[in-house]
């Protein structure tokens, strides 16, 4: 029997809805993967979820936080950790329901660099990322994870854009 196809997916949290929902683009990329690639062929695939947490990046919910003691930072880190776990749990649960094999990782650092590093380490058959479809100026000022991965990851890369009706008023939001 042929070995399974290993698909790596970069997943992140929504900047809009807050705790603990996945971003529109990464959820869309996952749904697309299930509907268009995996289909009923669940035993032929293994999905590898990578979520990268950015150190010291204040989450939306932390905007009004005051840090006065070491304990406050410990609490923040703990909340971050739990958010990452909830995010992976969302995708892992969906895979379990569908019956497709999966694994999930949380890593730390710059998402685009870390995803490419994970590709090197785990050698998936291909990588799937979502894409906010940012314009040229937003790409420069906000940055784009999907385009960097598409250029630099050492495997084929598929980037799944959000549909027009999924795209929020400010396309940077996701
Ligand atoms: P872009 O709109 O080009 O920045 O790409 C967004 C996509 O990059 C998301 O749908 C994810 O697939 C991926 N991505 C962004 N941030 C992260 C992260 N922190 N961890 C894992 N994947 C991420």
> In order along the chain (174 residues), what is the average pLDDT of each group of 10 residues?
89 81 96 98 98 72 69 82 92 98 96 98 98 92 94 98 93 93
**Ligand 1 pocket check for 46: Cβ under 6 Å:** no
pLDDT at 44: 98
Cα separation, 5 vs 173, whole angstroms: 32
Do 124 and 6 meet the contact criterion of CB atoms below 8 Å apart?
Answer: yes
- Token duo for residue 140: 């420069």
pLDDT at 18: 62
pLDDT at 100: 98
From 134, 131, 133, 130, select the one nearest 142 (Cα to Cα): 134
**Ligand 1 pocket check for 26: Cβ under 6 Å:** yes
pTM confidence score: 0.91
Cα separation, 60 vs 125, whole angstroms: 34
pLDDT at 156: 98
Planar angle of CA 16, 18, 20, nearest 5 degrees: 130
Planar angle of CA 163, 167, 168, nearest 5 degrees: 170
**Ligand 1 pocket check for 144: Cβ under 6 Å:** yes
Q: Which of 60, 111, 174 to mutate to test the pocket of ligand 1 (most atoms within 8 A of CB)?
A: 111
The CB-side HSE value for 114 (13 A sphere, CA atoms) comes to 18
**In the chain, what are the domains?**
5-54+84-166 (3.40.50.620)
pLDDT at 66: 75
pLDDT at 78: 85
From 17, 111, 112, select the one nearest 55 (Cα to Cα): 111
Distance 111 CA to ligand 1 centre (A): 7
């Amino acid at each position: 029997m042929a070995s399974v196809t290993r698909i790596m997916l970069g997943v992140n949290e929504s900047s809009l809805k807050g705790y603990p929902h996945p971003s529109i683009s990464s959820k869309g990329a996952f749904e697309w993967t299930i509907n268009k690639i995996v289909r009923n062929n669940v035993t032929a695939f293994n999905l590898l979820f990578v979520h990268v947490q950015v150190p010291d990046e204040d989450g939306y919910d932390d905007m009004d936080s005051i840090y006065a003691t070491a304990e406050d930072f410990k609490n923040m880190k703990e909340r971050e950790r739990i958010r990452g776990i909830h995010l992976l749990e969302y995708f892992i649960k969906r895979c379990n329901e569908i019956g497709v094999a999966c694994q999930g990782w949380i890593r730390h650092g710059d998402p685009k660099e870390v995803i490419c590093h994970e590709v090197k380490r785990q050698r998936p058959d291909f990588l799937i990322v979502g894409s906010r479809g940012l314009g040229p100026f937003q790409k420069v000022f906000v940055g784009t994870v999907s385009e960097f991965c598409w250029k630099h990851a050492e495997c084929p890369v598929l980037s799944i854009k959000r549909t027009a009706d999924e795209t929020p008023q400010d396309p940077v939001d996701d």
